[in-house]
Amino acid sequence: MARDGTAARIRWGLKDNLAEMLSSKVDCVECRNCVECKSMVTSPMRLSSSDHGSQPIASNSFNGVSPRLFAETNVSPAAQPQSLLFGNAIDLPNTPLFGTDGIRGRVGDLLTAPLALQVGFWAGQVLQPNPDVPGVVILGQDCRNSSDMLAMALSAGLTAAGLEVWYVGMCPTPVVAYLASISGAVGGVMISASHNPPWDNGIKFFGADGSKLSPTLQAQIEAGLRGNGAGQILGTQSCGTKWGRHYPRPELIEDYLRSLQAPLAKVSLTGMRIVLDLAWGAATRVAASAFQSLGAEVVYLHDAPDGDRINVHCGSTHLGALQQAVEAHAADLGFAFDGDADRVLAVDGNGRAVDGDYILYLWGQSLRQAEQLPGNTIVSTVMANLGFERAWEQQGGKLLRTAVGDQYVHAEMLQTGAMLGGEQSGHVLCRHYGVSGDGLLTALHLAALVQRSGQSLATLVDQSFQTYPQLLKNVRVEDRITRMNWHHCESLQQTIAQAEADMGDQGRILVRASGTEPVIRVMVEAVSADLVSHWTDTVVLAVQHYAQLG
């Protein structure tokens, strides 16, 4: 949050006099007495038969408050639904809300139910193509303890904007992206903080094609939140006379599973022993059936949803447990997912980590041999190892680099026509089979690739490339403004320039503020491990000094 009163102060919240409206005297058919409602209505209530014919409150009421009840108090939400979103003040940071993967932060600090409600409403205003025809939004969540709260608040905002919500419940993020792309929905929303710890959460948006929502539309949502041009956004929509509805649709997850299995219908993983680390997260909902349907023998780790332990010392950011299990069970390979299963890392039969660079290289070779890799092009990010890049170029391929974030990788893939891309961290996108980064899809295809090759994953990795020594360290910087403005620090810039001059073309350095965690990341890569160690430590000290001064 911004410090010293510098936060932007906005006035787009629940109506200040909502409690006053609800305290109006209403005849209840149950007791026939005059009652005072001092709080939000939480159960169906019927108004006096003499006034309204004893009709039940409509199930599409906002937070359980019937439009009829508003009418009784001389307020007409049908005429002005946006009035529900005006009034309460919320502090927002001066830095952008949307990072590289949606809105993400600590629950109770940046992320609260009132914020999620308003994000839902303004997203509804931006996503709704035709206010006279209710659009559909796919809504999913992971198993964090705060995800129920944020999902329901967001749904309330979306329905207040007139959209229908199809709520699939706990699921991997790729489920939301896929369903948005095939259902005719106007978009999708996932409540998750991906690989972050349990106390964080996030809101990810997808467009109607299943891709991450464009920066332009994200900016429009944020403008509404901040009150910048909110009147113009509302002015483009008719307030209408319809509320949206919220529908539980967990059965739609089966459509996603069938989409994973269809391209692999002729593949059998029989005879393969695979260990899956499900990180106490969303993959626990679908991973078992996906791998077992192909005949694999599966050993599971952290295989129940647990909001207190999601990503804690497990999953794609902590491979130790998976490496030990692969060796202990003499498994062929293992896969570790993050909390929402949009990324995956592998472990070979020798217990070695196989990151996104190796996965892209091996999958790229397979697609090229099948003549399914246009221009022999793979899209990755500035984090991709130089060893990967040079080995791929020696194979006659081309590696394009983007900024960190799968949304940038996907945008470059669409612009260049590339069919394969991803990140070293395990976000992998293959447009032949999916519309977004998908850990489960990637794991299934890598296992199938290994099975078809007749060789072990360890052998395939040995035959691929040697990585340059690379070291990534994170410096925790809690203050968001300090974190985002590191590049204005002259002494830090001088240290970086000195490192670049010393390494020349034998190495490179990357410093960036994370878009998903409260850290500044320092990555150094060079031909010499000594160079990497020296300059990583030097730059980290400079970042720590900057953070202390900030």
**How far is residue 487's CA from residue 501's CA, in Å, rounded to a whole number?**
18
Q: If 0-12 CB within 10 Å is exposed, 13-18 middle and 19+ buried, where does residue 537 land?
A: middle
**Amino acid code (one letter) for 83:** S
Token pair for 273: 């022993």
Question: Which residues, 6 or more positions from 420, have their beta carbon under 8 angstroms from its beta carbon?
Answer: 360, 363, 364, 367, 373, 377, 378, 379, 413, 428, 429, 430, 431
Distance CA 491, CA 432 (A): 47
Rg (CA), the chain: 26
Separation of alpha carbons 464 and 512, rounded Å: 29
- Amino acid at the residue 185: A
CB atoms < 10 A from the CB of 286, how many?
22
- CA-based torsion, 334, 338, 339, 341: positive or negative: negative
| d(C-alpha 214, C-alpha 126), whole Å | 12
CA–CA separation, 516 and 212 (whole Å): 15
CA 97 to chain centre: 14
Task: Provide the edge-to-edge strand list for the sheet that holds 353-354.
Answer: 297-301, 273-277, 333-337, 344-348, 353-354
Catalytic residue among 66, 147, 192, 194: 194
Find all residues with CB under 8 Å of 548, minimum gap 6, and list them. none
Strand order in the sheet with 470-476: 470-476, 519-526, 507-513
| Residue 260 burial (10 A CB sphere; 0-12, 13-18, 19+) | buried
Residue with tokens 């919240």: 13
- Closest Cα partner for 181 from 423, 441, 431, 416? 431
For residues 358 and 423, give the distance between their C-alpha atoms in angstroms, rounded to a whole number.
Answer: 10
Which residues are paired to 476 by β-bridges? 519
Q: 203, 191 in Cβ contact below 8 A? A: yes
194 in active site: yes
Catalytic residues: 194
